[in-house]
Amino acid sequence: MHIYSMSHKIHKNVTFGQSEFHLLGTHWLVSMSKEEEPFLIAPVANSDEFYAYKIIFKPDSGGKEWQLDRSIIKTIPEEHRQFVVKYPAGSVNQNLVPQFLRNFTVLDSRSIGKMPKRDIFFDLLGPLLREFGIHYVYVATTSLDTLRSHASSFTDTSTVTVIGGDTSLHEFVNALPPMQNKSVRFVVIPAGSGNALANSLGTHTPIHAIQRLFLSGLENFVPLMTFPVQFPHITTQAIVVASWGLHSRLVADADTPEMRERYEDATERFQVAARKNLDEIEQKYSSNNVLHSYLLFTCVSHLEESFNISPLASPPLFDKLFRLRIGPYETIAEQKTQLMKIMMSAYDDGKHIQNEEVEYDQVVGTAIITVDDQPEPMRQWCVDGKIVVCPPGQVKIGQPQPTFNGWKLLVLPG
């Protein structure tokens, strides 16, 4: 853990080097392509001037090299007023910092043993936090247990920014100790292999999430709904998804050490795993001797930015649980054709639910699923990107709730 002091300052025209953000599913700076448009504007402490913060791309770099630029402006154009921060930059007066930012933690989920090509925190978020006088605790994952260990030490109401994916948030929430009348407010900066929650909330890029952090107030946070998944041997709290079948199998296959070593691009790993599962493996999973190829429970709407898995989910308050089921196919050739057709129609604004082969409905009460005795790969569940091998027996999935272990959970939507 590193606790940073407030002595560091951002500098005008600081070059932050090469940064590649293609792995986030969309170029993270695509909305900032106009050099003349700032992404934040802040009043300067003890002055009638303003700081305008921009991202400026280097010519002929293909968007890979950029500078974070801070300039002084006298007036704010009407079309840029949406970017104005309500508190000043360049101040050390903590009374000017919003209350919800005074107990602030950044959890930076990093690849174990490998430095990322991009650095959202050190290149962008960290300098801006120091610029606005926000004290923070910075925690980088140095082992698989870092998030759980840090969460278990929480005893007071806090705001937590997670630079990572769904599994990072899952690990943190599930490790929160029992507590009463405390809350955690989450800001999710999408930087993981899976960013379903951020995409469902409308926060598609890191720059958008960072904008929201500085431009929002306490009133902008909404309840973060989670739902319990009780396996025969463990119980865990799901934030995004609990699945059994093709989805869980390809997540498991894409996340092996061998796949991570061979394919750095998460999208490529999932494509390779998907081809293998559709082309070579019969997707037949047995529950009370009834087969299915795809079974998924979720509160959120999107697993990817354009993959609308649950069109009836209602952002930003995902307080309803939906089930999506697809039966088995007689042959691998039919399976490949039909499942691919269904999955592709999910990219077409969620039209897959109109397919007569797809069962899609809201879950009322507790869903109970029996996992029959079958080979281990056919008993793999995915809970928020984490693979759980379920022993034969019952799985019980409960209704969404905005609290866990006595903590009130909130999140900042896009």
CB atoms within 10 A of CB 21: 21
Evaluate the CA torsion angle 80, 86, 91, 92 in order and state its sign.
negative
User: What is the edge-to-edge ordering of all strands in the sheet holding 393-397?
Assistant: 235-238, 227-230, 393-397, 367-371
Tokens of 56: 């400026």
Cis check for the bond before 59: say yes or no (omega within 30 of 0).
no
Write the CB contacts of 379 (distance below 8 Å, at least 6 apart in sequence).
371, 389, 390, 391, 392
Write the CB contacts of 276 (distance below 8 Å, at least 6 apart in sequence).
253
Phi, psi of 38 (to 5 degrees): -75, 160
Task: Please state, in angstroms and rounded to a whole number, the distance separating the CA atoms of residues 134 and 128.
Answer: 9
pLDDT in tens, 279-297: 999 999 999 999 999 999 9
Number of alpha helices (DSSP H) and beta strands (DSSP E) in the chain: 10, 24
Query: What is the predicted pLDDT for the residue at 20?
Result: 27
CA atoms in the 13 A half-sphere facing the CB of 371: 25
Place of tokens 């951002």: 10
Q: Tell me the residue type at 157.
A: T
In the chain, which stretches have pLDDT less than 50? 1-34, 112-117
Residue 143: Cβ-neighbour burial (10 angstroms; 0-12, 13-18, 19+): exposed
Task: Please state, in angstroms and rounded to a whole number, the distance separating the CA atoms of residues 365 and 244.
Answer: 19
DSSP character string of 175-210: TPPP-SSEEEEEEEEE-SS--HHHHHHT--SHHHHH
pTM: 0.88
Query: What is the predicted pLDDT for the residue at 6?
Result: 29
What is the b/e burial string over 218-229, where b = at least 16 CB atoms within 10 angstroms of the residue's CB? eeebbbbbbbbb
Query: What is the predicted pLDDT for the residue at 337?
Result: 96
- Residues 72, 111 contacting (CB under 8 angstroms): no
Task: Please state, in angstroms and rounded to a whole number, the distance separating the CA atoms of residues 269 and 250.
Answer: 9
User: Cα torsion at 227, 229, 234, 240 (round to 10°)?
Assistant: -70
Beta strand extents in 60-201 (DSSP E only): 65-73, 104-108, 136-140, 158-164, 182-190
Task: Please state, in angstroms and rounded to a whole number, the distance separating the CA atoms of residues 355 and 396.
Answer: 27
Task: Please state, in angstroms and rounded to a whole number, the distance separating the CA atoms of residues 287 and 393.
Answer: 9
pLDDT in tens, 79-102: 999 999 999 998 778 888 999 999
By three-state DSSP, how is residue 78 classified?
A: helix
